[in-house]
């Protein structure tokens, strides 16, 4: 019996998104508790943030299901609503003065461990290639080496923050390299889409990225990857100012 790689990939992206939401909610609540909030207050704030994430997934799902995201006659307007809000949100959380305590209390080790979610992402992209829904260029058979970031995340988490270690400089190296690998595949994806900037015309193209449920990759999973890098880098910078607090939140 031949495997239905398209269905496997679609199901994989949906299940992975749910799992990421669960782990994010757990991590958010844990961070609020580290900040000294009462369990009730931490739970309330966690539910609010989780609801915002679920709401965002609902919005991009509607954009994909109605065909707006895949209408490249409107390019680049069709992708701006899906790409800019996560970027703005991550930048605000990373640098806004009122969120620095939250960043400071994030578990340094956890920020790197969670990057392992990028391994199944790369498997799902490979399945899309096998289903002839994505060009090889966007998988690890082509020029996408982002799987290395996912594999290295838990390793660097242990090297940097295991057994009481606090090697923020080594973590910074991992984060910079991880961002570079992420930027590589993001640019490959953008340059494969049918926009005025299209540079790669490998069949079958990358329109699957604008379709439900695979659209969770550019609108949720990619932002999650760069958010983890951004928070980790910011935490490393804050660790220079608050070394004692940094050791408590590793």
Per-residue 3-state assignment (H helix, E strand, C coil) for 86-117: HHHHHHHHHHCHHHHHHHHHCCHHHHHHHHHH
Give 66: exposed, middle or buried? Use CB within 10 Å, 0-12, 13-18, 19+.
exposed
Q: Highest-confidence range of 74-78, 148-152, 193-197, by mean pLDDT?
A: 148-152
Query: Residue 191 and residue 138: Cα distance in Å, rounded?
Result: 11
Q: Is the pLDDT of residue 242 over 90?
A: no
* Tokens 């966007």 sit on residue: 138
Query: Residue 222 and residue 235: Cα distance in Å, rounded?
Result: 20
Q: Is the pLDDT of residue 248 over 70?
A: no
pLDDT in tens, 229-241: 999 999 999 887 7
Q: What is the pLDDT of residue 164?
A: 85
What tokens does 203 get? 């069949």
Q: What is the pLDDT of residue 245?
A: 54
What tokens does 222 get? 């990619």
Q: Is the pLDDT of residue 3 over 90?
A: no
Q: What is the pLDDT of residue 163?
A: 87
**Mean pLDDT of the 24-33 span:** 97
* Tokens 């461990």 sit on residue: 113
Q: What is the pTM of this model?
A: 0.94
- % of the chain residues with pLDDT over 90: 87
Of 111, 114, 98, 130, the C-alpha closest to 31 is 111
Q: What is the pLDDT of residue 81?
A: 87
Q: What is the pLDDT of residue 250?
A: 60
**Mean pLDDT of the 3-26 span:** 97
Going from the C-alpha of 117 to that of each of 24, 28, 154, 161, 192, the distances in angstroms are: 12, 17, 10, 19, 24
Which phi and psi (to 5°) does residue 246 adopt? -60, -40
Q: What is the pLDDT of residue 53?
A: 97
pLDDT in tens, 112-154: 999 999 999 999 999 999 999 999 999 999 999 999 999 999 9
Q: In residues, how long is the chain?
A: 250
Assess contact for 22 and 28: CB atoms under 8 A.
Answer: no
Query: Residue 3 and residue 75: Cα distance in Å, rounded?
Result: 34
Q: Is 246 in a helix, a strand, or coil?
A: helix
Q: Is the pLDDT of residue 78 over 90?
A: yes
Q: What is the pLDDT of residue 197?
A: 84
Query: Residue 203 and residue 226: Cα distance in Å, rounded?
Result: 28
- Cis amide bond preceding 242, omega within 30: no
Query: Residue 222 and residue 110: Cα distance in Å, rounded?
Result: 17
């Amino acid at each position: 019996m031949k495997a239905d790689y398209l269905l496997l990939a679609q199901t994989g992206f949906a299940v992975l998104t749910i799992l990421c939401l669960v782990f994010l909610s757990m991590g958010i609540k844990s961070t609020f508790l580290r900040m000294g909030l009462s369990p009730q207050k931490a739970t309330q704030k966690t539910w609010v943030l989780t609801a915002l994430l679920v709401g965002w997934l609902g919005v991009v799902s509607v954009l994909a299901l109605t065909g707006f995201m895949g209408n490249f006659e409107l390019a680049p307007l069709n992708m701006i609503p899906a790409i800019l809000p996560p970027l703005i949100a991550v930048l605000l959380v990373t640098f806004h003065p009122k969120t620095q305590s939250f960043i400071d209390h994030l578990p340094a080790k956890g920020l790197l461990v969670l990057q392992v979610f990028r391994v199944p992402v790369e498997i799902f992209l490979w399945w899309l290639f096998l289903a002839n829904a994505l060009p090889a260029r966007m998988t690890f058979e082509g020029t996408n080496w982002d799987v290395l970031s996912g594999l290295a995340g838990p390793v660097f988490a242990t090297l940097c923050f295991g057994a009481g270690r606090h090697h923020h400089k080594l973590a910074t190296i991992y984060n910079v390299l991880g961002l570079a690998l992420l930027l590589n595949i993001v640019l490959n994806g953008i340059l494969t889409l049918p926009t005025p900037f299209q540079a790669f015309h490998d069949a079958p193209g990358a329109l699957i990225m604008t379709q439900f449920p695979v659209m969770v990759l550019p609108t949720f999973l990619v932002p999650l990857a760069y958010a983890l890098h951004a928070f980790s880098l910011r935490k490393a910078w804050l660790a220079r100012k608050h070394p004692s607090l940094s050791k408590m939140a590793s």
